Structure 1
Amino acid sequence: MSGATHGTAPGPRLYDRTAELAAVARLTDPATGHGGVLFVTGGPGEGRSALLARAADDFPGTAHRIAAPGHRTPWSGARALFAALAPAAPDARRALRTARSEDGLATAVTGLLGDRPVLICLDDLHLWDAHSRAALAAAWRAGGPGRRGPRWLVSAARHHRPPEVPGAETVRLGRLGPDGARALLGALCVPPPAPPVVRRLVEEAAGNPGVLVSAVRRLTPAQLAGGAPLPEPPVDGAVLAEVYGGFLAHLPADSRRLLTVVALAGRAGDEDAGAVAGRTGADVRGGPGAPRLAGVAVDAVLGGARATRTPAEPLEGLVADGLLCRTDGMLRFEDPFLGLVVLASAPAPASGCHGVRRAGAPRPARTASALARGESHRADRLGPPAAVRALAPVVRGRSQLVRGLAALAGGPVMDAHEALLRAAELLRDRAPDEASDARFLAMEAAWAGGDVDACLAALGCGGDAGGTERDFLDGLGAALTVRLDEARPSLARVVARDGAEDDPRLLLRAGSAALVLGDTAAAARVHARALARARAEHRTALLPRALEHLAYAELRAGRYSRAARTAREGLRTAELTGQPNVAAHQHAVLALVASVAGDGLAVAEHAGLALGTARPHGLAQAATLAEWALARAELGSGLVAQAAARLVPLVRAGPRGGHFALRMLVVPCFVEAAVAAGRAAEARSAAGEYALWTAQGVDRTAPALLARCRALLAQGEEAAYWFGEAVRRHDGCGNDFERARTLLAYGTWLRRRRRPGAARGPLGDALVTFERAAADGWADHARSELRATGGAGGGAADPTAWGLLTPQQQRIARFAAQGATNREIAGRLALSPRTVDHHLRGVFARLGIRSRVELPGLADRWEAL
Structure 2
Amino acid sequence: MSGSTQAAATGPRLYDRTAELAAVTRLSARAGAGAGGALFVTGDPGEGRTALLARAAHDFPGSAHRIAAPAHRGAWSGVRALCAALAPHASAGRRALRLARGEDGVTAAVDGLTGGLPVLICLDDLHLWDAHSRAALTTAWREPGPRSGGTAWLVSAARHHRVPEVPEAETVRLGRLSRDGARALLGDLCAVPPPAGLAERLLDAAAGHPGVLAAAVRRLAAGPAHGSVPPSRPLVDGAVLAEVYGGLVDGLPVDSRRLLAVVALAGRGPEGSQALSPGPEVFQAYEVTLGAVLATARETRTSVEPLDGLITDGLLCRRGDTLRFEDPFLGRAALASAPASWYAGNERADASDRTLPAQPAPPPLSVPVARPPAPVDPALVRSEGHRADRLGPPASVRALAPVVRGRSQLVRGLAALGGGPVMEAHEVLLQAAELLGEREPAEASDARFLAMEAAWAGGDVAACLAALGSGTVPRGTEGDFVEGMRAALTVRLDQARSALARVVAGDGGQDDPRLLLRAGSAALVLGDTVAASRIHARALARARAEHRTALVPRALEHLAYAELRAGRYSRAARAAREGLRAAELTGQCNIAAHQHAVLALVASVAGDGPTVTEHAGRALDTALPHGLVQAATLAEWALSRAEFGRGLAAQAAARLAPLVRPGPRGGHFALRMLVVPCFVEAAVASGRRAEARVAAEEYAVWAVQGIDGSAPAQLARCRALLARGEEPAYWFGEAVRRHDSCGNDFERARTLLAYGTWLRRRRRPGDARGPLSDALVTFERAAADGWAEHARSELRATGGTTGGVTDPAALGRLTPQQQRIARLVAGGATNREVADRLTLSPRTVDHHLRSVFARLGIRSRVELPAVVGLWDARREPDTGVPARHARA
TM-score by length of 1: 0.55
CA distance in 2, matches of 1:117, 1:562: 55
CA distance in 1, matches of 2:267, 2:755: 61
Amino acid at match of 2:781: Q
Corresponding residue number in structure 1 for 2:276: 285
| Kept after mapping to 2: 8 A contact 1:707/1:722 | no
| Kept after mapping to 1: 8 A contact 2:484/2:497 | no
1:550-629 matched pairs, under 5 angstroms: 550-556=639-645, 576=665, 603-604=686-687, 606-618=688-700
1:280-359 matched pairs, under 5 angstroms: 284-285=275-276, 287-288=278-279, 301=289, 334-341=326-333, 344=336, 348=342
CA distance in 2, matches of 1:76, 1:204: 39
Amino acid at match of 2:575: V
Shift of 1:205: 1.5
**1:13 alignment partner, SS class:** coil
**1:234 alignment partner, SS class:** coil
Distance 1:493 1:688, change over 3 A: closer
Corresponding residue number in structure 1 for 2:24: 24
Q: Percent identity?
A: 35
Give per-residue Cα distances to partners, 1:424-446, cap 9 Å, x unaligned.
Answer: 76987998878877876x6xxxx
In the alignment, which of 620, 623, 635 is matched to residue 531 of structure 1? 620
Confirm whether residue 465 of structure 1 aligns to residue 536 of structure 2.
yes
Corresponding residue number in structure 2 for 1:59: 60
Give per-residue Cα distances to partners, 1:360-379, cap 9 Å, x unaligned.
Answer: xxxxxxxxxxxxxxxxxxxx
| Kept after mapping to 1: 8 A contact 2:15/2:185 | yes
| Kept after mapping to 2: 8 A contact 1:42/1:172 | yes
Confirm whether residue 493 of structure 1 aligns to residue 579 of structure 2.
no
| Kept after mapping to 2: 8 A contact 1:293/1:339 | no
| Kept after mapping to 2: 8 A contact 1:498/1:507 | no
1:43-442 matched pairs, under 5 angstroms: 43-67=44-68, 88-89=93-94, 91-92=96-97, 94=99, 113=114, 115-123=116-124, 135=139, 138-139=142-143, 149-156=150-157, 171-178=172-179, 180-181=181-182, 183-185=184-186, 188=189, 198-218=199-219, 221-223=222-224, 232-244=233-245, 267-268=268-269, 271=270, 276=272, 284-285=275-276, 287-288=278-279, 301=289, 334-341=326-333, 344=336, 348=342, 396-397=483-484, 399-400=486-487, 402-403=489-490
Shift of 1:159: 7.0
| Kept after mapping to 2: 8 A contact 1:397/1:426 | no
Amino acid at match of 2:13: R
CA distance in 1, matches of 2:22, 2:275: 37
CA distance in 1, matches of 2:243, 2:562: 51
Give per-residue Cα distances to partners, 1:58-104, cap 9 Å, x unaligned.
Answer: 3232223455699999999889867866764555555566568xxxx
Confirm whether residue 508 of structure 1 aligns to residue 597 of structure 2.
yes
CA distance in 1, matches of 2:681, 2:38: 48
| Kept after mapping to 2: 8 A contact 1:690/1:706 | yes
Corresponding residue number in structure 2 for 1:6: 6
Indicate the larger mover: 34-43 or 522-531. 34-43
CA distance in 2, matches of 1:292, 1:476: 51
* Structure 1: unaligned runs, 5 residues or longer: 354-385, 405-414, 443-453, 480-486, 596-602, 632-641, 747-760, 762-865
1:788-827 matched pairs, under 5 angstroms: none
Distance 1:199 1:24, change over 3 A: same
* Structure 2: unaligned runs, 5 residues or longer: 298-302, 352-469, 508-513, 541-555, 584-588, 703-710, 823-844, 860-888
Distance 1:27 1:326, change over 3 A: same
CA distance in 2, matches of 1:159, 1:594: 33
Corresponding residue number in structure 1 for 2:784: 699
Shift of 1:48: 1.7
Give per-residue Cα distances to partners, 1:773-809, cap 9 Å, x unaligned.
Answer: xxxxxxxxxxxxxxxxxxxxxxxxxxxxxxxxxxxxx
Give per-residue Cα distances to partners, 1:486-528, cap 9 Å, x unaligned.
Answer: x354223134135555334444344334444555543443222
CA distance in 2, matches of 1:249, 1:176: 26
Distance 1:559 1:44, change over 3 A: closer
Distance 1:667 1:551, change over 3 A: same
Give per-residue Cα distances to partners, 1:635-658, cap 9 Å, x unaligned.
Answer: xxxxxxx9x969756754429999
Indicate the larger mover: 697-706 or 651-660. 651-660
Give per-residue Cα distances to partners, 1:237-295, cap 9 Å, x unaligned.
Answer: 45335534666789999999998898667642xx4xxx75xxxx8x9437328768576
Shift of 1:14: 2.8
Distance 1:246 1:352, change over 3 A: farther
Distance 1:262 1:432, change over 3 A: farther
CA distance in 2, matches of 1:496, 1:258: 47
Distance 1:437 1:170, change over 3 A: closer
Corresponding residue number in structure 2 for 1:678: 763
Shift of 1:334: 4.5
Distance 1:539 1:205, change over 3 A: same
**1:63 alignment partner, SS class:** strand
TM-score by length of 2: 0.53
Amino acid at match of 2:21: L
CA distance in 2, matches of 1:427, 1:75: 38
| Kept after mapping to 2: 8 A contact 1:424/1:438 | yes
**2:65 alignment partner, SS class:** strand
Amino acid at match of 1:337: F
CA distance in 2, matches of 1:135, 1:591: 25
Distance 1:93 1:432, change over 3 A: farther
Distance 1:521 1:421, change over 3 A: farther
| Kept after mapping to 2: 8 A contact 1:40/1:155 | yes
Distance 1:671 1:56, change over 3 A: same
Corresponding residue number in structure 2 for 1:859: none
Shift of 1:56: 1.5
CA distance in 1, matches of 2:782, 2:312: 52
CA distance in 2, matches of 1:425, 1:615: 29
Shift of 1:52: 0.9
Amino acid at match of 1:679: R
Distance 1:665 1:313, change over 3 A: closer
CA distance in 2, matches of 1:588, 1:388: 41
Distance 1:336 1:228, change over 3 A: closer
| Kept after mapping to 2: 8 A contact 1:499/1:526 | no
Give per-residue Cα distances to partners, 1:313-340, cap 9 Å, x unaligned.
Answer: 999997997976989x999754443444
Shift of 1:138: 4.0
CA distance in 2, matches of 1:436, 1:224: 69
Equivalences, count: 638
Distance 1:325 1:493, change over 3 A: closer
Corresponding residue number in structure 2 for 1:365: none
Amino acid at match of 1:121: C
Distance 1:73 1:607, change over 3 A: closer
CA distance in 2, matches of 1:293, 1:215: 20
